[in-house]
């Protein structure tokens, strides 16, 4: 037994055992319940009492030595542990993935950019509107189907309050506040009570345009819209204006562009007609000017309105409206823009 004690003592003092680098493995080897020293204590108990005196002292000394050594290993381990925690300033930084702009935002910016180059300024209005700004001031007769509950989200407690169904309401707000010359565009969200499908959604985005001054003509409107179409879809783009009806414009038209996909020769996007519709427009009805306290004898003007998703669908050839609202990162990551 004395031999064993001596060997263990030497082992501890030499520091050669691999366990001496790590406090826990050292403790397990020497000081745990099943460790070498505890085993020695067990065999010590079985010794005849006259031998106990001789070994007891040596064993206690050995245990003390091991305990002291364990403290030392722990102390040195702590200091090297702290070293490890210090940041390594030479390591490269963590790269944060950069987001992309939403396609609707990209197209909205492009539309705004084209019209602001022509001197149009941006104006905005509330999404929760009243009947006057969305319908009445815009010359909608009381029984017009667009006021029907099926198209418009009304606030149940007050049918005078509703979610705007078009950004034409902002025209009214601008004209009420400001006298001509007025040259403004109004981008914004609009709401309609539609079942969601590939071609319809209950929320979408529009840009409204309004130009009012003395002597503004239909030809002025046509030229500005031609400029817009060519900036947006390419210089070879042609436009055509088809007679249409809106309560707030007279005359009214719908504008088609030559199909940007097939160049006019016919494809399934333009349904083999060579043309695709992109907006409504017309000369502001004198009733609307009068409703907004603008002298309809003195001033004339034009207005136009387009859906941003519709332009995006044509530009990106993504024909399911729902994709613009789902925010699937795999879809959004495909749109890289200069904006
Ligand atoms: N507000 C119309 C709509 O939502 C679009 C529109 C048509 C706006 C003709 C206009 C316009 O300003 O002149 O369908």
Q: Does the pLDDT value for residue 90 go beyond 90?
A: no
pLDDT recorded at residue 306: 97
Give residue-wise pLDDT tens across range 198-225.
Answer: 888 999 999 999 999 999 999 999 999 9
282 close to ligand 1 (CB < 6 Angstrom): yes
307 close to ligand 1 (CB < 6 Angstrom): no
Taking the CA atoms of 229, 308, 306 and 293 in sequence, report the sign of the dihedral they define.
negative
241 close to ligand 1 (CB < 6 Angstrom): no
Percent of the chain with pLDDT over 90: 54
Q: Within 10 A of 100 (CB to CB), how many other CB atoms are there?
A: 15
- Per DSSP, the three-state class of 314 is helix
* Cα three-residue angle 104-109-111, rounded to 5 degrees: 95
Q: What is the mean pLDDT of residues 289-313?
A: 96
**Which of 168, 211, 279 gets mutated to test ligand 1 (max ligand atoms within 8 A of its CB)?**
168
166 close to ligand 1 (CB < 6 Angstrom): yes
pTM: 0.73
Domain annotation for the chain: domains and CATH numbers: 2-80 (no CATH), 103-335 (3.30.930.10)
Q: Does the pLDDT value for residue 26 go beyond 80?
A: yes
Residue whose C-alpha is closest to residue 119's, from 184, 58, 174:
184
Of residues 127 and 9, more confidence is placed in 127
């Amino acid at each position: 037994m004395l031999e064993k004690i001596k060997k263990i003592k030497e082992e501890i003092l030499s520091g050669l055992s691999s366990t001496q680098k790590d406090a826990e493995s050292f403790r397990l080897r020497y000081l745990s319940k099943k460790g070498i020293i505890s085993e020695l204590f067990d065999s010590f108990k079985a010794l005849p009492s006259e031998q106990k005196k001789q070994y007891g002292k040596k064993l206690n000394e050995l245990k003390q030595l091991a305990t002291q050594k364990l403290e030392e290993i722990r102390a040195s381990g702590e200091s090297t542990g702290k070293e490890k925690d210090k940041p390594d300033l030479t390591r490269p930084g963590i790269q944060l993935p950069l987001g992309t702009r939403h396609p609707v935002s990209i197209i909205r910016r492009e539309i705004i950019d084209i019209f602001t180059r022509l001197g149009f300024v941006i104006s905005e209005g509330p999404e929760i509107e009243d009947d006057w700004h969305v319908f009445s001031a815009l010359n909608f007769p009381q029984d017009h189907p667009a006021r029907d509950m099926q198209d418009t989200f009304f606030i149940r407690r007050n049918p005078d309050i509703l979610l705007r169904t078009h950004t034409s309401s902002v025209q009214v707000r601008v004209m009420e506040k400001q006298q001509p010359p007025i040259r403004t565009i109004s981008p914004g969200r609009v709401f309609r009570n539609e079942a969601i499908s590939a071609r319809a959604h209950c929320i979408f985005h529009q840009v409204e345009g309004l130009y009012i001054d003395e002597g503004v003509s239909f030809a002025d409107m046509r030229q500005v819209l031609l400029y817009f179409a060519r900036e947006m879809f390419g210089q070879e783009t042609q436009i055509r204006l088809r007679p249409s009806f809106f309560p707030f414009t007279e005359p009214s038209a719908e504008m088609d562009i030559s199909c940007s996909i097939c160049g006019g020769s016919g494809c399934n996007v333009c349904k083999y007609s060579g043309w695709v519709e992109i907006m409504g427009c017309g000369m502001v009805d004198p009733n609307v000017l009068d409703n907004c306290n603008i002298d309809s004898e003195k001033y004339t003007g034009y207005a136009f309105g387009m859906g941003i998703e519709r332009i995006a669908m044509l530009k990106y050839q993504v024909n399911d409206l729902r994709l613009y609202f789902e925010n699937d990162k795999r879809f959004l990551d495909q749109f890289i823009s200069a904006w």
